Structure formats: C-alpha cells, structure tokens
C-alpha cells in the first residue's frame, strides 16, 4: 500500500485529494499511517452523513499537525484510498479549538474533480456558490457537535489565496522534523 501522506501534492496544476470518508458515510474515517489503513474515528451525530467526499491533501501539513483537509464536491461517492485530481475552488477559513487545547487554524479546502474526469459538475471551476457555502458551513458546524471541539468560521478564501495556503502547507511538510 502506498504511503498516502507522501504522494505528490500536485500534478499538471491540479491538486490531489486522498479520500478518507466517502460521500454518504455516517462515520468519520481517517488514514492511520501507523497501520497504513483507513480507520474508523467516530460516528457523526444521528441523522448526519458526509455531503461530499472528505479527505486530505498529501504532502502538506497544517497547524494541527495533520495534512490539510479537503472536501471534493461531486455527484458520486468514492471509497477510502481513492485519489482524485482536482481543481481548487477555495477554502473555508476555520479557527478550531479542541477540548482543553489552544485555538488554531484548520481550514477546509474545497475542490471539484477535473472537468474531463467528471462531466456533470454542480459548481463553477473557479468559486463556491453562496448557497453551497452556507450548506458546507452548516455541515461542519453540526459535524463537531458533542466532540468537545469548537469551531469559528473566519470567512472564505478564493482559489488564488487558498493555493498560497496550500503551498505554505507543502513547505511545512517538506521542512517538518
């Protein structure tokens, strides 16, 4: 099995996203490098499911010590371990505080598969429509219910600003100890 954390971040201007939790899943899953498998983390609150594929951007590192998070907006569900080449749409800037921990940035990057890989996209390739932004914010707000985490949204970044943040995450990964 490949080391998903170390896959190249980009290819031909597209960003790779490793899917951990597929669309429709009622439980959060995450890649565990210690066992090189995708593991169950926790259930979502009753009645909730992931609205889109959820995963991470390989060869990046965020303030929380994990790879940067990615939500892939498309009409199908994949499976843990699928790697999708995506266009970056933007990012939801998030300040997160874990139970008893310090507040830190934990942004959610928003993607769609490359157009030729997915014919019927519901988003434009350069932005996240306002109604979809509200739905995404509501999902993330509800998904942390009963986890002890607090999140505050700090606004949205366009694709250009989000790409700069991803490059910062790539640099942090390359220079980690």
Per-residue exposure over 36-56, b if at least 16 CB sit within 10 Å of its own CB, e if not: eebeeeeebeeeeebbbbbbb
Strand (E) or helix (H) holding 122: none
Q: CB 91: neighbour CB atoms within 10 A? A: 26
pLDDT (tens digit per residue) in 28-44: 999 999 999 999 999 99
CA distance 129 to 126: 10
Contacts with 127 (C-beta within 8 Å, 6 or more apart), sequence order: 89, 90, 158, 159
pTM score, whole prediction: 0.92
What pLDDT does residue 168 have?
97
Q: Which residues contact 120 (CB under 8 A, 6 or more apart)?
A: 75
116-145 pLDDT, tens digit per residue, is: 555 544 455 557 889 999 999 999 999 887
Q: CA neighbours within 13 Å on the CB side: how many for 12? A: 3
């Amino acid at each position: 099995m490949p080391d998903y954390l170390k896959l190249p971040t980009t290819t031909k201007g597209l960003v790779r996203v490793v899917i951990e939790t597929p669309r429709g899943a009622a439980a959060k899953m995450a890649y565990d490098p210690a066992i090189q498998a995708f593991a169950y983390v926790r259930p979502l609150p009753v009645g909730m499911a992931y609205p889109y594929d959820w995963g991470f951007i390989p060869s990046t590192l965020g303030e929380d010590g994990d790879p940067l998070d990615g939500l892939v907006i498309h009409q199908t569900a994949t499976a843990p371990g699928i790697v999708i080449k995506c266009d970056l749409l933007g990012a939801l800037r998030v300040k997160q505080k874990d139970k008893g921990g310090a507040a830190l940035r934990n942004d959610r990057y928003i993607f769609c598969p490359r157009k030729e890989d997915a014919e019927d996209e519901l988003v434009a390739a350069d932005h996240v429509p306002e109604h979809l932004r509200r739905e995404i914010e509501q999902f993330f707000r509800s998904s942390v219910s009963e986890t002890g985490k607090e999140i505050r949204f700090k606004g949205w970044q366009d694709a250009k600003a989000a790409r700069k943040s991803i490059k910062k995450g790539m640099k942090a990964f390359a220079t980690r100890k």
